[in-house]
Amino acid sequence: MSSLAIEMQDVRAKNVFVSEDSLQIDLADGRTIIAPLMWYPRLWHGTPAERNMCQIIGDGAYIHWPELDEDLTVLGVLAGYRSAECPESLKKWLTERADPVETH
């Protein structure tokens, strides 16, 4: 196994911070990843409170935002992958946020 493969396997999130324009992930090995928030539309459209309600799961391999129904892999962010959500899906999600259906 190459040293790059070993290094990539050890990537784990320790802390997550979301500002108005960026996603910052502090890794367990001391590195920090910063990505533009516009790469992740659900985070971009989320409120500050929703953005701050994230869970680091899978021993630090994944980040989940329950209020925004968003999941990212730490490796994906490190590799520079943007959201792969199709425009139709995002549009539907935005419409549902604007006009939530009350359930009783």
Residues 60-81 as b/e (b if ≥16 CB within 10 A, e otherwise) read: bebbebeebebbbebebbbeee
Please report the pLDDT score of residue 42 as a whole number.
Answer: 98
Please report the pLDDT score of residue 10 as a whole number.
Answer: 75
pLDDT in tens, 21-74: 999 999 999 999 999 999 999 999 999 999 999 999 999 999 999 999 999 999
Work out the pLDDT band at 104, boundaries 50, 70, 90.
Answer: very low
